[in-house]
Structures are given as structure tokens and as C-alpha cells.
A = this chain, B = another copy of it.
Amino acid sequence: MADQYPPPTEDYPTTERSRVRRSPKRGTHGRADVHAILDASPLCHVGYVINGAPYVTPTLHWREGEYVYWHGSSASRFLRAAEDMPVCLTCSIMDGYVLARSAFNHSVNYRSAMVFGTARLVDDPDEKNHALRQLIEDLFPGRWDNLRPMTAQEVKATSVLRMEIDEATAKVRNAPPGDIDEADYPVWAGVLPIRSHLASAETAPGMPDNIELPQALADLIASGRIR
């Protein structure tokens, strides 16, 4: 499928909806920039509208080319409400507190991506199976084939939504405080970096002694990343 996607060097369109107004130097519509942020954050927040009112639901998402996916129970109001509707899916990573010499110049180092499109239910069985496999494999490479296979009932009880990215904006701040005009003011300034990592694995109760933590998971923990 990969070759049907636009090349990642081509930007998303700049529209009234997605144009970066505030701090435009922090913003980009570059596909590679948007993809990198989506991929770095397993958690996203999906915004949708019911009866004119906004809802924001946290969920895991994954990406394949120009499509983002998320899933849940087939009975979920959240998934049903988003189907065939305009959606804004936002990923945000806080990389650090930026402490300046004035309150006004305090900031946050962050990476965020807002992507817009229309959510569609994945109803083709093969595509749904492929998508659920990707969810697991993106987080834990090699795990899917070792799992107890999904039953037909489990697949039926799971809904997968897919959204082609119509428009998108990435914003990044990654810098020390921007208050160099007041560098002689006598208070400490700098960045407190925020890091997320995986702590030691907690084996499920009752696990047989001969089943050890797979090397791929040990490597993920050791990497200092969360995906």
C-alpha cells in the first residue's frame, strides 16, 4: 500500500482550519514532521461533536501511511459518535518546563500534532485483522504471532476506526527560555526536561516459572523510550 501515499516531503495543505497563527515559526504542515509526532506518542486525544457539544477521549492510536487508526468496544458511544464524522486527533508530548526570569516568558518544550479528517469504520475483515495486528506489533514487535489468536466473537466485539489525514499541523518548541533581554535578572532560568520511560516489568500473577520476559520487551524497557 505504501506507494499510493503522497511522498512525505509534500506538505499537508495550509487551510483556514489548520493554518498556524500563534508562533508560526513553531508550526509546520510537513508530512514527515506530523508523522514523527504521531508515531512518538502512543496516546492521542480524539475530539468529536455530539449534539453540538465537544468531547475529548483519550485512546491509543497507530498510523499506516496517511491513515491513523484507533479502536475500542463495538458498543462504545465514543466510537459510534465519531463514525463518518469530522474528527480532530491530537498527540502531544511535553518535553520540558521552560523556566524564564519573568512569568510571561515561561513556556513548555513540546511536540504536538493535530490531524483532521473523517473517521470511517473498518468493516472489511481482512483489513480489520491487519489493523489490530498493527496495533500490537507497533508497540511490541514480534508479539502478535505468539498470542492466543483472536476469536471471531472478539473481532466482532471490537471496532476499528480509520481516518485519512486531510489536514494536519505540527508544532514544536525545543529551546532554552527566550528571555535573553533580562538575562541579568537574579533568578535561575533554564529547562527542566520531562522524560517518560518504562519501569521494570510486573509479571502477571501465576505466570509459570519457565516463561520469561521476551527479549524484545526487555530491550524496549532498556531503551528508555515508551515505544
In the complex, are the beta carbons of B198 and A194 less than 8 A apart?
A: yes
Closest CB in chain B relative to A17 CB, distance in Å: 7
In the complex, are the beta carbons of A77 and B21 less than 8 A apart?
A: yes
Q: Is A207 an interface residue (CB 8 A)?
A: yes
Within 8 Å by CB of A101, from B90, B147, B176, B221, lies: B147
Give the chain B neighbours of A48 by CB distance below 8 A.
Answer: 54
Q: Is A4 an interface residue (CB 8 A)?
A: no
Give the chain B neighbours of A103 by CB distance below 8 A.
Answer: 132-133, 135-136, 144, 147, 150, 154
Give the chain B neighbours of A46 by CB distance below 8 A.
Answer: 56
In the complex, are the beta carbons of A102 and B147 less than 8 A apart?
A: yes
Give the chain B neighbours of A148 by CB distance below 8 A.
Answer: 101-102, 182, 185, 187
From known contacts A17-B53, A88-B54, A226-B194, infer whether A207 and B188 are also in contact, taking CB-CB under 8 Å.
Answer: yes
In the complex, are the beta carbons of B206 and A201 less than 8 A apart?
A: no
Q: Is A28 an interface residue (CB 8 A)?
A: no
Q: Is A67 an interface residue (CB 8 A)?
A: no
Q: Is A120 an interface residue (CB 8 A)?
A: no
Q: Is A2 an interface residue (CB 8 A)?
A: no
Contact with B along A138-149 (1 / 0, CB 8 A): 011001101111
Within 8 Å by CB of A206, from B180, B186, B193, B212, lies: B180
Within 8 Å by CB of A139, from B42, B97, B214, lies: B97
Interface of A is mostly: mixed
Q: Is A1 an interface residue (CB 8 A)?
A: no
Q: Is A30 an interface residue (CB 8 A)?
A: no
Q: Is A114 an interface residue (CB 8 A)?
A: yes
Q: Give 14 A-B pairs besides A21-B77, A60-B108 with Cβ atoms closer than 8 angstroms.
A: A22-B73, A49-B52, A53-B116, A54-B55, A54-B87, A97-B140, A102-B149, A104-B158, A148-B185, A183-B206, A188-B207, A194-B199, A195-B197, A197-B197
Q: Give chain A's interface residues, CB within 8 Å of chain B.
A: 17, 21-22, 42-43, 45-49, 52-58, 60, 72-73, 75-78, 86-90, 92, 94, 96-97, 99, 101-104, 106, 108, 110, 112, 114, 116, 132-133, 135-136, 139-140, 143-144, 146-151, 154, 157-158, 176-177, 180, 182-208, 211-214, 217, 220-221, 226
